[in-house]
Structures are given as structure tokens and as C-alpha cells.
Amino acid sequence: MNKMHQLHHIEYMPTGELFAEQRDHWATPYRFNGKELDEETGLYYYGARYYTPELGIWLSVDPLSDKYPSMSAFMYCAGNPVVLVDPDGREIVVVGAVSQSYVKSYLKEHFGNSKSFKVTNSGEVKIN
């Protein structure tokens, strides 16, 4: 009987902070959301900006923040990293089998009725 051997096991807090890690001699450089962790700074680089998992925020202003002035320009995934992801630091994307109506109601509840929210077929959240 063949046995499987686990090389690397990582568990994260919802914001990407490391919770638990077990590994053999091999370790992947790709961590939370498939991004590389800079071991010296403890930051993830997403392409558009840097993210700090300890605080759960971006370290620079969202380049598209003028589209949603009622939200913090530093907030990661509209404050809901369990249901939403931000692949490059510029857009929020719905993951898994979460309903579009749930995401829309969550955003309206937390950020008011000043903007309308739409979830595309690919899961991208559009803010008008």
C-alpha cells in the first residue's frame, strides 16, 4: 500500500496571518492567496500594492478608491476576507458558492446606499 506524505501544511487566520505551519525540508514560497511572503518585512506583494496580514489592510491607497468613497482605501476585501478575495490589490472578487445577493446585502449594510454593487459572472464585484 502506498502512503502519502504531506510536505507542507499551512493554516491562516482570515486576514492571512499565519496560524499554524508544519513542513519537512521543502517549503513553498507561495503563501496566503497564492502570493509570495517577503520574509524580511512580513508583507505580501499583490502587484498593485503591499498587504500586511497582521493588520489585515493594504499599506497604500487603493488606485481605484475614487469609485467607492464610503469605504476605506486601505481595507482588504471590504472587511470580509472569508467570502471575498482581492487578487491584485485592485478589485474584490467573490469566491466559492456564496450568493450574489448575500454579497450585495453585506456591502450595502456596511457601506450604505450611496453606491450600487454588482457581481459579474466571473465573481468580480463592480461598484457604481
Q: In the predicted model, is pLDDT for residue 115 greater than 70?
A: no
CB 30 within 8 A of CB 36: yes
Total H helices, total E strands in the chain: 1, 10
Locate 112 and state its grid cell: 450604505
Mean pLDDT for the stretch of residues 92-112: 71
Which residues have C-beta within 8 Å of that of residue 2, sequence separation ≥ 6? none
Task: Please report the pLDDT score of residue 6 as a whole number.
Answer: 64
Task: Please report the pLDDT score of residue 37 as a whole number.
Answer: 85
Q: In the predicted model, is pLDDT for residue 114 greater than 80?
A: no
How many whole angstroms separate alpha carbon 51 and alpha carbon 54?
Answer: 9
CB 82 within 8 A of CB 100: no
Q: Using the 8-state DSSP alphabet, how is residue 3 labeled?
A: -
| Span 40-87, pLDDT tens digits | 998 988 888 899 998 988 999 888 778 777 778 888 887 877 778 888
**Domain boundaries defined on the chain:** 8-127
pTM to 2 decimals? 0.62
Mean pLDDT for the stretch of residues 4-12: 76
Report the mean per-residue pLDDT for the chain.
78
